[in-house]
A and B are shown apart, each in its own frame.
Chain A
């Protein structure tokens, strides 16, 4: 399928982003040590046109890469930088070298901000790239900043209808869906291995059914994230559907994963918590499911003609 693109990217992630690397990066702010390698890998300009030295890919084509970042809990804003670079390039701005960029619309917490050097922010209908100052520390201990990002403005471009919050939410949803796939995978493996009452947990129907439900949520979130990463550009309604499904799925799946793991799941030495802590952090960022559900509900009410099926088909039905 997407293998020529995805396989080498996943190999790169497996190499540069092991659980011990993630733990190490959690302990300190500043660019991740793997940033240089990521930046030089060429994937970072996947969205740039070929004439500008990129790969000319579409959002739907890079979607698996973004999911893979979540799956790996990559402690670096790869997806955000990829998107920010394409946007700045399109606006004719000079691309900064070495910059790890987060998208920072208003949000109680900006994931990966502590692992970035720059941020895209909006003010007065303009998008600004700022060189970030250190922010308030992340209560999730997952490399974010927990306040509005500030810093020196390096350049400004016209926002031109770009809704930065939708962009950030869409990328969040896609990465969350990757985290959920990883969490599900870990939990399935654990259920098959861990024995109680002389048999694996996976023999118990109560456990089987919980995991089936977990898989349903993970697939639903992944599908909705794919909707958000379709078309020519990010769109608030598509991002809304994705972030709602991701947020709802995240809380259900975290509960299931930790229930199935028992006590070991929350321990520092075990990897599950690496993913579930991040998942909860991302769910809180850039508008949660309540916020985006209201956006969607308002849009539905604002569309008088047609059924809800029509609404979904016309606004949330493009998968290309």
Chain B
């Protein structure tokens, strides 16, 4: 990987920018009533009705071709849309996974029949997806998954468990990585991807409660679940390659640095009322980091739009970006706590408290910091 050319100068085209005022106007109407602590959830805030409202504007499945009910737009248009949604703190979790990766995955690897069946309802905001990768004994070591699908005539029988599956309990489908041949010791070989209708018999889903008492993810058990032949996505045995193609989409987007932006802007607002030079400088540092992250993410958007798969570069953006968004609540806490005799605004305190309790996960979800750094090191020619 040549670092100097890995992030080429890239400008969002004007055509894509035209979308921005429309999205802003919509958000102004639809979410300005939300409390900041709820907006702070952004892409983990689940609101099916909001997703359907977005879809009615054509803003779910924006990059899916029009023939499948999508917007037929490019990755830059989606960057603009998503940037506005995240910065405003719109509750986009319901359709998020389908929009970001399941839809594009089906478009790339699905059969024509699968595309016709799954993509239009995704684009209408009526069909929600989750990602079934992690298992109780397979986290970072994803290739060790044990959930298994066995061919049985014209169908498959699925047995095993998935865990930490974001919003499985509110989703219609899971795209899962499971073993179809060989043993866990065969690692990347013998893995396949399936699309699982979560209403099928034999599936139990148990939401997992967090310390905050939210339930953002679930544990699933599959007991001899019968899947139709056409539940296989792509090629039998090619699951690992297919999953890796998703990773560049999953790791390079603005959701890897905007997760705490709502709080940053509340803090800036408070600072305006009561200027503190030390905080002002720290704010400036964050703005500088954000500028560089945003330019890097747009550069990768361009490479993805050109059909490339910059997986290592995406890992680099995610590691830097999640550090940035993790720092925001820590910095705001330092600023708030340093003036004990000042009344904290209750909304800001609630937003801060929410993010302080969950900012740890920013560098876990989607692959941990340590795993990403290992990938980057390999990309740099170490090992």
A interface list, Cβ under 8 A from B:
1, 60, 64, 67, 181, 184, 188, 191-192, 202-203, 205, 207-209, 211-213, 215-216, 218-224, 226-227, 230, 240-242, 244-245, 248, 289-290, 292-301, 304, 307-313, 316-320
Q: Are B284 and A300 in contact (CB under 8 A)?
A: yes
Is A209 in contact with B377, judged by CB distance below 8 angstroms? Answer: yes
Q: Does B231 contact A (CB under 8 A)?
A: no
Hey, which chain B residues are within 8 Å of A208, CB to CB? 373-374, 377, 382-383
Interchain CB contact under 8 A, B11 and A312: no
Residues of B within 8 A of A (CB): 3-12, 83-84, 86-88, 258, 261, 264-265, 268, 271-272, 275, 277, 279-296, 298-299, 316, 319-320, 370, 372-374, 376-377, 380-383
Q: Which of A188, A224, A300, A311 contacts B292 (CB 8 A)?
A: A224
Nearest B residue to A213 via CB reads B373
Contacts between the two chains (Cβ within 8 Å), count: 184
User: How far, in Å, is A91 (CB) from chain B's closest CB?
Assistant: 28
Contacts of A211 in B (CB 8 A): 377, 380, 382
- The DSSP consensus for interface residues of chain B is helix
Distance A304 CA – B268 CA, assembled complex (angstroms): 9
Instruction: Determine whether the beta carbon of B4 is less than 8 Å from that of A311.
Output: no
With known contacts A224-B288, A300-B287, A319-B295, A308–B4 Cβ distance under 8 A: no
Tell me which residues across on chain A come within 8 A of B8, comparing CB atoms.
1
A176 to chain B, nearest CB (A): 13
Within 8 Å CB of A222, what residues of B? 3-4, 7
Q: Which residues of A contact B319 (CB under 8 A)?
A: 212-213, 216
* A304 nearest CB across to chain B (Å): 7
Interface residue from A192, A203, A244 paired with B284 (Cβ < 8 Å): A244
Collect the chain B residues with CB atoms within 8 Å of residue A230's CB.
9
CA distance A32 to B265 in the complex (A): 49
Nearest-CB distance from A223 to chain B (Å)? Answer: 5
Chain A proximity of B9: nearest CB distance (Å): 5
Contact A192-B9, Cβ < 8 Å, known A211-B377, A293-B281: no
- Asked whether A293 lies within 8 Å of B4 as measured between CB atoms, the reply is no
With known contacts A223-B292, A226-B9, A312-B287, A307–B261 Cβ distance under 8 A = yes
A181 touches B377 (CB 8 A): no
Q: How far is the CB of B278 from chain A (nearest CB, A)?
A: 9
10 smallest A-B Cβ distances: which pairs? A297-B284, A293-B284, A296-B284, A208-B377, A244-B288, A212-B376, A297-B280, A316-B291, A309-B87, A212-B373
Other A-B contacts than A219-B296, A293-B283, A309-B86, 12 sampled, CB-CB below 8 A, are A202-B382, A205-B374, A212-B373, A215-B316, A219-B6, A221-B292, A222-B4, A224-B291, A296-B287, A297-B283, A308-B265, A312-B294
